[in-house]
Amino acid sequence: MKKSRVLNELKAEFPSLSENEALARLLVSGFISQLNPMVDELSDVKTAVSEAVTNCIVHAYRNTVGKVRMLVRIYDGSEVYIRITDTGCGIENLDKAMEPLFTSSPDEDRAGLGFTVMESFMDTLSVRSALGKGTTVTMRKKLRSRVQKDYNAG
């Protein structure tokens, strides 16, 4: 099996402020637009990133402000890799947190669908978490690019 090459990479770090959820969507959208993705795929990726960043803002750093790190890579073959990391409180029971409709904030009008949305819009979803150390969400999606670019040309 051929190993994929990283063709481009974006790294961003920003405070866990609610207004930065829109920033994360804008960054990922602008960055992957070089692949000329289908509109529905672009929307899927933006929504998944929004959910991951919102989890950091709402849950990881409850009542505090911390750092959210985002890494986006484009691999040959139009695959997008996204990693969202926080160093917040971590998730006590990851299996439970991944269940649809589970929320650790039932009094706050939260639907408990964040991980479900991420999983349904991306090809793969992986979540690692450690109490007191933070959480890392890794997602991948293969895009059906409308026009393939030749990154080796000129």
Nearest to residue 117, comparing CAs of 133, 88, 137?
137
110 is catalytic: yes
**H/E stretch holding 42:** helix 39-55
The one-letter amino acid at 19: E
Residue 36 is a catalytic residue: no
Of 69, 110, 128, 140, the catalytic one is: 110
What b/e readout covers 56-70, taking b as 16+ CB neighbours within 10 angstroms? bbbbbbeeeeebbbb
Catalytic annotation, pick one of 21, 41, 51, 119: 51
- Active-site residue, 92 included: no
In order of start, what are the domains of the chain with their CATH numbers?
Answer: 7-142 (3.30.565.10)
pLDDT tens for 15-71 read: 999 999 999 999 999 999 999 999 999 999 999 999 999 999 988 998 899 999 999
- The pTM assigned to this predicted structure is 0.85
Catalytic residue, chosen from 20, 21, 41, 55, is: 55
Rounded (10°) angle between helices 20-32 and 39-55? 150
**Separation of alpha carbons 53 and 129, rounded Å:** 15
pLDDT score, position 112: 55
Instruction: State the chain's mean pLDDT as an integer.
Output: 87
| Residue 62 to residue 31: CA distance in whole angstroms | 29
Q: How far is residue 14's CA from residue 88's CA, in Å, rounded to a whole number?
A: 14
